[in-house]
Structures are given as C-alpha cells and as structure tokens.
Chains A and B, each alone.
Chain A
Amino acid sequence: MSTVVETHDHGHHGPAKGLSRWLFTTNHKDIGTLYLWFSFIMLFIGGSMAMVIRAELFQPGLQIVQPEFFNQMTTNHGLIMVFGVIMPAFVGLANWMLPIQIGAPDMALPRLNNLSFWLLPMAFGILISTLFMPEGGPNFGWTFYAPLSTTYAPSTVNFFIFSVHVMGVSSILGSINIITTIFNMRAPGMTLMKMPLFVWSWLITAYLLIAVMPVLAGVVTMMLMDINFGTSFFNAAGGGDPVLFQHVFWFFGHPEVYIMILPAFGIVSHIIETFSRKPIFGYSSMVYAMASIAILSFVVWAHHMFTVGMPLAGELFFMYSTMLIAIPTGVKVFNWVATMFRGSITFETPMLFSIAFVALFTIGGFSGLMLAIVPADFQYHDTYFVVAHFHYVLVPGALFGIIAGAYYWLPKWTGNMYDETLGKLHFWLTFISVNVTFFPMHFVGLAGMPRRYPDYALQFADFNALISVGAFMFGLTQLLFLFIVIKTIRSGKQATPEVWEGAGDLGLEWTLSSPPPYHSFTVQPQVK
C-alpha cells in the first residue's frame, strides 16, 4: 500500500497521513484497497474455519471438535466466505477499477462509499464476536432455515440478525453508488454498449443487489419478530409456515449466487482478451447473456427446495427455468473459447487463473445442470454432491476470478510487477489442491454422504482423508499469495502504463501511469 501513497507531483492533492487517511478517506482507490484487504483477512478467517471442518472430517468419529462447534464452523465459514470475502472483494475491485475504466475521477458518492465500507468491519465484528459468547455463534447453517434458526436457535441469533442487516445496508449503499457512477460519470463517447465488460457485469450485479438485499433484510426481520415478539411467520404451532422461510430466503439466495459470479465473468473476459491479444468474441452477446442470467435468476429459486413437497407442476416449472440458465452461461463459455481461438496466447498468471476459471466453472455448471433435473436431485439434494457443485462455482469460479483480477491489476495498483515465477507456482499449487479438495466430493456425495455432518459412515473414510489433505494444501498455498501480494507492494520491476503487451488499446485504465495518480482523470478523457 505504501507505494500508493507516493503521489508524484500531485502532493497537494495527496492522501492524509496516518490512520485518519483510512478512516475518513473518500478516495475510491483507498476504499478499494480497504475492501480488498478486508476480504483478504476474512478469507483467512473463513479459511481457518474450513480447516477446522476438514480436520474433524479427516477420519470418522469425533476427534477435534464436538458437533455443536462443528455446526458453528460450517455456518460461519459459509457466511464469511459469501458476505465477507467474495462480495467485498468484488466491491473492492469495482471501487478501484470502475471509475478508472469509465474515465471518471472518483465514485459519484464518495462519502457514502466510505460509510458502506466501514459498516462491514462492524457487521463482521458482531458476527464473529458471537463465537466467543457462552451460547456460541450461529449454528444453523449459512441458509439458516427456520425453525432451527428461530425457536431452536441460541439467543446469539439476534446478533447474527443485526449483523446481516448491517451487511445488507452496506451492500445496498455500495450498489446505489455503483449504479449512479456508471450512469452519470462515463467519459464522453462511452455509450453503454462501449462500456468494458467488467463495468457491465457490475451494473447488472448492482441491480441484483438492490433487488434482493431488502428481501434478505425482510426474512431476518421476520425471524427477529418470531424470536422476540411472539409472531408466527415460520412457527407451525402458531399457524405459520416453515416453508415460507425457504421461499423468501431463496428468492434472495439465488440472485445472490449470481451476484457472486457475474463480476468474475467481467474480469475473466478482460484477461482472456488481453492475453489472447484478440478482442473479446461476441461482446454484445456477452452483455445480453449476463442480463438474461440476471433476469432468469428471479424465477428459479425453488430449485433449492425440490424436496420440500411442491406440486408436480411447480417441480417441473423450476426444473425447466433452471435448465434455461445453461443457455446464456453456455454462450459465455463458447465466447471465451472463441476469443482464444486464433489468438496469440501467452500464459501469465492472470491468464492461467482465467483458463482454469473457464474449465472448472464449466464443471460446476455441469453439476448444476445435473442438480436441476428434479428426479435426480432427489438423490443429490443435501449431499456432498451439492457441496462439490457450489464450491466448484465459488472457488475456481468466483475466487479464481478475484485472484486473476488481483494479478491482472496489481501492477497497475502498485506500479510494480509481481514475481511471475512465484505467481505461477501459486497457480499450480492452487489448481491441483482445489481439484484434490473438491472433485472427490462429487463421489462421496453420490455415494450418499449428507452435507453438514460432523461424523460419517466408514465407507466415506478414504475420500474424506484425501479431501482434507487437499484442503490443507489449498489453505497453506494462499499464504504464498499473501506473500506475493506484499512483495509486489514493496518491490518489483517498475510497471509500464500499459503493463501488458498491447493492453494500451483495451481500456482507459491502461492509459494511466502505474500506479495511477491519487486523483485520476481530473481532465475528462474522450472515448472514440
């Protein structure tokens, strides 16, 4: 970060000194940096919880932790990775890159930007503090199905609810800011269909967030009422409906999973065109595909609920609508492959992560398609097959997209090239361990191991030991990533403005110096 402080001859516009720079900053680059570091720290916290889970599951029996704590680990691992790692990392990338990519000097609402970041440490401070309370933290799964999360929950659930409310406010404020910035601050000449795909992906994502975060707030408010004020939204004994919870939750939850993947689509599109040295294939179909995915995401939610006892017509409707999503998603994959076809390809670290993204995200897409098939889902539902599926789309999917973006833009942010050899080492170790961890989960799931089990039958022992070894390797490898990032911030070969060969024509960010001045584009650029 220290290199960002260097402001060259713009000293009089430079950042404040010391801690107040970070507390009171309204600069989009500083706030982007805060978001990225926050999500990096949360990655290690949520990752440590995964290590506890994998240590317990290394062999059958209860060795390391008791089921009560195990359930707290699975719950908090999920909540932290979804709300504390993937989402803030994308917001951080958006903060850094959106103004630069559209030629704006900063975000449209800088003070709001500061607020939406600083709400996050508060929300997660509250959430994580529950683990140290006598009753323990939330233990009902990150999907917190009622009535396990209401009538049967520890009283710390109230902290969890407050924390979710605060996260929701943060996301909504951030989304308002992003939409306002994109619509009002684009450089002259940058029409909507000339916007970089990362900007498009975030415009769509921000709309999804504004649409569904209030639904999440609604569902946790109903829980709060049930727990403390005697209502019976989800309490069957009082005339309520436990299935209502799932409908409302997944009406938020399914768009949420696209919130976690769309920005990665944008990032990977940029990286593939950069290192294929060839413009992205089918730009407009990429935009339409993302928009279709976003719209379809509102009519597929009950595919998470095929076993709750829906009528036949309902099961079939949600199966067909879910299968439809494979079309725009397939189009995106075909477009990426067509971009590589007849390119002039090099394999720098961001490209390696992006290629792995395309391949492994597609595997996650296939298992998603299988899960959409209702009768087969009766066998897959709530087993490790589902765990394998969503980890394939979230780890080599969303997380690889973030890591690829970090390598791609690190030289721009810091002005230093990262160490390519270490970057490749990081890639290969990550790529191997991610597959050793998550691929066997397909097999234990099909063979019948349910998810969220602290202990399991002997037939699953071999695969679980293998999965745990892969998980430890994956966890340790990310320390190497931390080392590479710190090393790049402190030293490294000076990066040119265009950083990557031929990138100068690809976007406005490559016309700025590396690192860019603290206030960039004080004179509006023109887009032809």
Chain B
Amino acid sequence: MAYIKKVLAKFIFVMPLFFSSLVFSESSDYNMPIGVTEVSESIFELHMVIFWICVAIGVIVFSIMFWSLWKYRKSKGAVAADFDDNLWLEIGWTVAATLVLVWMAVPATQVMVEAYDDAEGEINILITGHQWKWHYEYLEDEVGFFSNLSTSQEQIDGEVPKGEFYLKEVDEPLVIPTNTRVRFLITGNDVIHSWWVPDFAVKQDAIPGFINTAWTNVPEPGIFRGACTELCGIKHAFMPVVVRAVEREEFDAFIAEKVTLAEAERLLTSKNWTKEELMERGEQFYQTNCAACHQAGGQGIPPVFPALAGSQVALSDSAKHIQILMEGVQGSAMAAFGESYSEIDIASVITYTRQAWDNGEKGDGVIVTPQDIVAYKNRIDL
C-alpha cells in the first residue's frame, strides 16, 4: 500500500508536467494555432500570456496546498492551530487577485479593439450558412457558389482509407486575395451556424435574420481549413470551411472566370432544354443539394424530411412544386432555393424529381423548363 501511494503521488506531480511540456512545444496539434494574420498572432500571444499567469497562480496555490498537506499530516504528529481568520491576509489576497485581473484585462482589451473592426473591406463577401454547406457571394462582382464537403461517404463509413484532409476538404473553396482587407458578412439561411477559420482567428455565428461582420488580411498565399462550430443538425460535422488565399492577379482571374461562367449560365436559360439534359443536370444537383435530407432514393426521413418518391406534389402538381422550390415551406426545414440557384438548376431538379423513382410513370411527368421558372419569377415580381 505504501508503495502504491508513492507511485500515485509521483503520478500526480508528474502528470501536469508531462502535459505542460506538450504545451511548450507550441505545436498546433496541442495548442492554439498561431495563425497567419496579425490578429491571430496577437490572440495567440494573449492566450499564452493568460495561460502562463494561470500556471503561475496555480503553482503558488497548489504548492502551498500540497506542502501544507505534507507538512501538517496528523500521522507525523501535527497538532492543529485554532486560528480562523486574519483580516489583513484576506484583504491582501483579495487586492492581489484584483490586480492580477487588471493585468490580464489590459492586453485583452487592446487585442479586442484590434480584432473588432466592421469597416468596409476592399473585397466584401457574403457568407451564408445552409444545412449543411456554405454559400459564398462576392458582393462587388455579384457571383457566388456553394462549397460542399468533398470527403466521400465511403471514407466516413470506413469502407475505403481516409484521406489526409478527411472532413477538411470541399469541392470549391472560398478564394480570397492576399494583402487585401477582406470583410466577411455572415448570415444563416435556416438554423444558426458558425464560420470559423482558426488561422485567421475569425469565428462568427451565422444567424438567420442577422448579418454579422468579420474581417481578415492574409499576408501569404495558402490553404486554410476550418469548421462549422455551432450545432446545426445532423451534418454539423460535415460542413467544413476551406479558404484559399492567392495573389491578387490570380484572384482577379478567378473572379473573371466566375463572371464569365455566370454570364454563360444566364444565356443558357433561354435555350430549349431537352428532357435528357434537364434530367442529367437535375440528378447531379439533387445528389449535391437535396439528398442529405430527402435521401438519394427520394424516400426522405419522414416526418421531418418528407419522401419525394410518390409524393402528391411531385406526381401531379407542378405549380406547387415550383412554388416550394422557390419559396421554401414556412415552418419546416425546406428552405427557399429561388434566390440562391439559377433558373436552370431549379427547373432541372424539379424535372428530375418528377421523373425519378417511378414518379414519371405514376404521375403526370410534367417537364419544367428554365423558362417556366423565369415566368414564375416575373409573375411574383408583378
């Protein structure tokens, strides 16, 4: 028993040392990343200052406590004193605690003022959290896109080995220019999400009905990976943030390409789409944007996410079908897609869901074209 006590006592003293040696290493596997921006570096330094003050207080308090426990053991014949207060000592440590807090509050306030700045950026990006993906829109150029997790379901289910950036990779990262003040305007489409990039020390909640701001200025090109940090439903862990910072020329080329693509898309709207073209595009869109809730086979997860296969709306009410896609369903998880996606996307996914899973055979099989969506929009605008 005595031996065990000795070993345990050693363990108690050694374990904190072991762990704090990990902190010393300042590796980002154990500690907060230093990050790449001035703000993230200031925050890291502040974090370490506060941490070391806490360690110092801890060492003093715990030393006195463990020394007392050791020195005044009854088994060593300690006899208890009977004092039970000491006014000056109590005033002393209250004042000391207050001074330490002031010492912490000063740098904390400085860094807070540095980080908090909602002035316009050179580039302004509207970030919208959706269940469960991010939408990025460059406000100056009026182009935008969705950013979805690109890790395969097979990797998540363990059927194939996991890649290096498992759950930290997306199909299309946000691209921002280096050495430019970029302002993020952050909001939510359905529930509350939170947009976090540790290397920028930017974390802001994406709240429906609110627009929050954050900003960054990245000095070097690179790829920075973050996450959604507010519980937003089933796939909360599966909507990472990836930001690619590039030189200004590359950024301009990227935007130019996006603008061209958007222009081409607008022209396509007036073309006559065949059923096969709509089906192909619709299936792709469905798998990326709808299958998370309504499932790949259209069976949904009733009653929260209704089945589309065999649903009355998909079988026989194309007007209602368009309305649901465009406006969403009040009081449910179904969001309005009309503002976020092109007429072609909306038309093709409606056409797809009216044909797929035997819906075409059982129902009216109506084909909805981009022109129908344009007509719907015009009607609403009146």
How far does the alpha carbon of A359 sit from the alpha carbon of B68 in the complex, in Å?
A: 13
| B324 at interface by CB-CB < 8 Å | no
Smallest Cβ-Cβ distance to B115: which chain A residue: A375
- Chain B contacts of A520 at CB under 8 A? none
Give which listed residue, A141, A333, A363, A376, contacts B46 with CB less than 8 A. Answer: A376
State the B residues within 8 Å of A (CB).
Answer: 8, 11, 15, 19, 22-23, 28-33, 42-43, 46-47, 50-51, 54, 57-58, 61-62, 64-65, 68-69, 72-75, 78-86, 89-90, 93-94, 97-98, 101, 104-105, 108-109, 111-116, 131, 155-158, 162, 164-168, 190-192, 194, 196, 198, 201-205, 207-210, 212-213, 226-238, 303-304, 330-333
Interface pair B84/A282, CB less than 8 Å apart: yes
Interface residues of A in 258-308 (CB under 8 A from B): 276-285, 307-308
Give which listed residue, B29, B109, B191, B228, contacts A450 with CB less than 8 A. Answer: B228
- Chain A contacts of B164 at CB under 8 A? 458
Decide: A340 near B65, CB < 8 A? Known: A71-B234, A378-B201, A454-B237: yes
How far does the alpha carbon of A383 sit from the alpha carbon of B42 in the complex, in Å?
A: 20
22 residue pairs bridging A and B, Cβ less than 8 Å apart: A60-B167, A67-B236, A135-B304, A147-B191, A147-B192, A278-B80, A278-B82, A282-B90, A309-B210, A330-B97, A345-B72, A373-B50, A375-B108, A375-B111, A428-B8, A435-B15, A443-B19, A443-B22, A443-B30, A447-B30, A447-B31, A447-B32
| A193 at interface by CB-CB < 8 Å | no
- Chain A contacts of B115 at CB under 8 A? 375, 378
Interface pair B85/A281, CB less than 8 Å apart: yes
Q: Which of A240, A344, A435 has the most CB of B within 10 A?
A: A344
Interface pair B93/A279, CB less than 8 Å apart: no
| A145 at interface by CB-CB < 8 Å | yes
Smallest Cβ-Cβ distance to B331: which chain A residue: A151
Interface pair A337/B61, CB less than 8 Å apart: yes
Interface pair B61/A307, CB less than 8 Å apart: no
Decide: A277 near B80, CB < 8 A? Known: A343-B72, A455-B237: yes
Interface pair A446/B32, CB less than 8 Å apart: yes
Interface pair A374/B108, CB less than 8 Å apart: yes
Interface pair B116/A378, CB less than 8 Å apart: no
| A482 at interface by CB-CB < 8 Å | no
Interface pair A243/B93, CB less than 8 Å apart: no
Decide: A320 near B105, CB < 8 A? Known: A148-B231, A334-B93: yes
Interface residues of A in 415-445 (CB under 8 A from B): 428, 432, 435, 439, 443
Interface pair A340/B208, CB less than 8 Å apart: no
Give which listed residue, A71, A312, A341, contacts B231 with CB less than 8 A. Answer: A71
Interface string of A358-387 (1 = CB under 8 A from B): 110011001001100111101101110000
- Chain A contacts of B28 at CB under 8 A? 447-448
Which of A5-13, A84-92, A209-217, A321-329 has 4 or more CB atoms under 8 Å from chain B?
Answer: A321-329
Interface size in chain A (residues, C-beta < 8 A): 94
Give which listed residue, B78, B166, B191, B192, contacts A60 with CB less than 8 A. Answer: B166
Interface pair B113/A151, CB less than 8 Å apart: no
- Chain A contacts of B58 at CB under 8 A? 362-363, 366
Decide: A452 near B210, CB < 8 A? Known: A344-B79, A443-B31: no
A48 smallest CB distance to B (angstroms)? 22
Interface pair B194/A307, CB less than 8 Å apart: yes
How far does the alpha carbon of A140 sit from the alpha carbon of B231 in the complex, in Å?
A: 7
Interface pair B31/A338, CB less than 8 Å apart: no
Interface residues of A in 45-93 (CB under 8 A from B): 60-63, 67-68, 71
Give which listed residue, B51, B74, B209, contacts A345 with CB less than 8 A. Answer: B74
How far does the alpha carbon of A280 sit from the alpha carbon of B82 in the complex, in Å?
A: 10
Interface pair A344/B167, CB less than 8 Å apart: no
How far does the alpha carbon of A281 sit from the alpha carbon of B64 in the complex, in Å?
A: 15
How far does the alpha carbon of A279 sit from the alpha carbon of B82 in the complex, in Å?
A: 7
- Chain A contacts of B73 at CB under 8 A? 345-346
| A315 at interface by CB-CB < 8 Å | yes
Interface pair A61/B158, CB less than 8 Å apart: yes
Give which listed residue, A140, A242, A326, contacts B97 with CB less than 8 A. Answer: A326
Give which listed residue, B54, B97, B156, B162, contacts A331 with CB less than 8 A. Answer: B97
Interface pair B84/A447, CB less than 8 Å apart: no
Interface pair B230/A236, CB less than 8 Å apart: no
A71 smallest CB distance to B (angstroms)? 7
Interface pair A345/B205, CB less than 8 Å apart: no
How far does the alpha carbon of A241 sit from the alpha carbon of B213 in the complex, in Å?
A: 18
- Chain B contacts of A309 at CB under 8 A? 204-205, 207, 210, 212-213
